[in-house]
Every structure is written in C-alpha cells, then in structure tokens.
Amino acid sequence: MKFRTDPSQIKGSIAPLMSPFTADGAVDHAGLTNLVNWQLASGTHGISLGGSTGEPGSQTIAGGAAAIRTGAAAVGDRGAFMPGTGSAKLDETLELTAAARDAGVDAALIITPYYARPTQEALYVWYKTVAEEFPDLPIVAYNVPSRTAVDIAPETIARLFRDFDNFVGVKETTKDFEHFSRVLQLCGPELLVWSGIELLCLPLMALGGVGYISATSNIAPVAHVEMYNAWMAGDIETARRIHYGLHPLVDLLFVETNPAPGKWVLEQRGLIESAFVRPPLITPTDAGIARMKTLLAAGEQYLSPVDGFQVAGFTPKAA
C-alpha cells in the first residue's frame, strides 16, 4: 500500500497547533502559516491541527478544510502533516477527511465521536467505515475520553489494527498509563502511539511510543524536540531534566481552558495578532493572567526563540 509518507516516519514532536483567529473571530491564515514556519524552524518533526487545542468544535467543515489546505501548503515536504478530521457526525468526518486527503496530508487524526457514547462495537464500525472509505490514507484514532465521554478500548484498537492496513496508530490522551501499556502489548511495536498528555510524553517513550502531540509544544517547540532527541540518543538525564523543566509551562496552559492561555502567550510573544478564542471559550481572566505570568517566569528558560517570526507591527506587551 502506497502512502504519501511512510507512516512510521511520523514520529517525534508533533505540534498540535492552536488555531489563530483575527480579533473579530475569522480564521487568520497568515497567522497559521507563521506558526507552521516557526514550528518547523524550531525543529518540530511534524504538524497537526484541528485537534482539541485547535478549537475544532467552533469551526465549520468549510473553515476546517480551508485551514487544512493552508497548513498543507505551509508544511509542504518539510515535515509530517497530520490534521484532525473527525467530528461527532459521520458525514462531516468523511467530508473533512476527503478534503485532507485531497490536500496531500500524511495521515488523518480521527477523534472518537463525542457526546453519543458509542459502544466498542460502534466505535469499531465507525473507524472501519472511515478506513474503508480512504484506503490510500493512513488513519490514526484520537482517544481523548475527558472530552468525548468515551474511551476506545485497547482491544478495539488491536482489532482495527489487525483488520485494516491503513489503520496505523492512536493518539492516546488519557492519564490511565496502564491503557498505554495494554495498547502496545496487544498490538506490538508496529502500532504507532503518540501521547497527547503533556506529562506522559516522556514516560510513553519508555513503553515504545513513537513521540507525542503535546499542547505545550505550541510555546516551547525546541524543548520538546530536544527531549525527544535526548531520549533517542540514550541521554535519559537530559530528557528527564527537560521533562521536569516543562512542568510550569504545562501548568500554565491549563490555568484556564486550553487553548486560551496558550494563545495569550503566543500573542504576548508576537507570534499571532490576536489571542481571540471562539465561544463558548473566553480569553483569560485577570486572575488567570496573574497566575500565568508567575508560571511563565518559572518556565521561561524553556520558551523557544521567536526572533524573525513576530507578526508585523508587533510591540511588546506591558508586563
């Protein structure tokens, strides 16, 4: 089976980009391109967008498809591109996945359908339908039970991996570390597993994960790349130091609902023009910002340089 990229090469630090909007809420395509360029210049191994950090629930299918096309053009052949194309509705999932395939992505990240709480058999049928519809596109399940109210069981992952050549992996965003272990034990090292939980990025590597899709890489891409590279080189001490050093920035991103705090940081640093988040989210409160400033200072050494990527007309914000 021929894919644009060997799926096994989609490894390392994959940045799940925050979706930049203008101050009036429109998709900021220039801002998105700027973020992609900054990430790749920082050494990031690949780009995702349209996952939870990208506010997919507030976007239309047409808007999501347009963002995917912008992302694909910006990434080009400089890294892997694995956008989220899932929805709670099957027709929307198929439509957005088709748009991603046509844009030339490396894989499609399909979230478990949220709110409905389907059974494991229903989840199998859901992913079977997508995999059969797009046999030329690698499919990756996105398991995030804290947002979807459903957990795709290791046995279901194993069944899909066994039955469909283009079902290649799973982004596991669960704090149940035993779940990670059982997925890899059932499927073996050929299944690609990424952590979507920031503080489990490094631990998953010890179990055989191929990398991570960490929201914190939105503000600290270099550190995430260095942590991965150190681990792969056997420099566990350096990898562990970075892991613990990133804790304040991880905490910062979740002072209020992600991605509002991270967008505030990106705006403060001049990487995007506006920290706007679409309803029902709101920009950080004054109390939240006060806490975020404390955490930002604590983790400052792990922030990545932004020189050359600040938006036109940026002026530093007052402390």
Domain regions of the chain by residue span: 112-213
> Residue 318 has what pLDDT?
52
Count CA atoms closer than 13 A to 126's CA, side-chain side.
Answer: 27
> Residue 213 has what pLDDT?
98
> Residue 53 has what pLDDT?
92
- The set of residues, in sequence order, having a beta carbon less than 8 Å from that of 288 and lying 6+ positions away, is 255, 256, 261
pLDDT band (50, 70, 90) for residue 317: low
Look at residue 267 and tell me whether its pLDDT is greater than 90: yes
Please name which of 46, 44, 58 lies closest in space to residue 87, comparing C-alpha atoms: 58
Calculate the average pLDDT of the chain. Answer: 95
Between 4-13, 77-86, 134-143, the lowest mean confidence (pLDDT) is in: 4-13
Look at residue 86 and tell me whether its pLDDT is greater than 70: yes
Q: Is the pTM of this model over 0.85?
A: yes
What is the distance between the alpha carbons of residues 167 and 178, in angstroms, rounded to a whole number?
A: 22
> Residue 4 has what pLDDT?
76
Higher pLDDT, 316 or 283: 283
> Residue 302 has what pLDDT?
98
Average pLDDT (104-124) is: 96
Options 142, 212, 228, 302, the catalytic residue: 142
List, for residues 7-54, the tens digit of each pLDDT value.
989 999 999 999 999 999 999 999 999 999 999 999 999 999 998 899
Look at residue 273 and tell me whether its pLDDT is greater than 60: yes
Average pLDDT (97-118) is: 96
Look at residue 98 and tell me whether its pLDDT is greater than 60: yes
Look at residue 276 and tell me whether its pLDDT is greater than 60: yes
pLDDT band (50, 70, 90) for residue 316: confident
Q: Is 129 left (phi over 0), alpha (psi -120 to 50) or beta?
A: alpha
- The set of residues, in sequence order, having a beta carbon less than 8 Å from that of 71 and lying 6+ positions away, is 17, 32, 36, 47, 49, 81, 83, 103
Residue 290, SS3 per DSSP: helix
Options 124, 171, 263, 302, the catalytic residue: 171
Look at residue 260 and tell me whether its pLDDT is greater than 80: yes
> Residue 156 has what pLDDT?
98
What is the distance between the alpha carbons of residues 207 and 54, in angstroms, rounded to a whole number?
A: 28
List, for residues 157-171, the tens digit of each pLDDT value.
999 999 999 999 999
pLDDT band (50, 70, 90) for residue 214: very high
What is the distance between the alpha carbons of residues 82 and 97, in angstroms, rounded to a whole number?
A: 11
Look at residue 312 and tell me whether its pLDDT is greater than 90: no
Active site residue 142: yes
Domain at 112-213: CATH architecture = Alpha-Beta Barrel (3.20)
Average pLDDT (266-291) is: 97
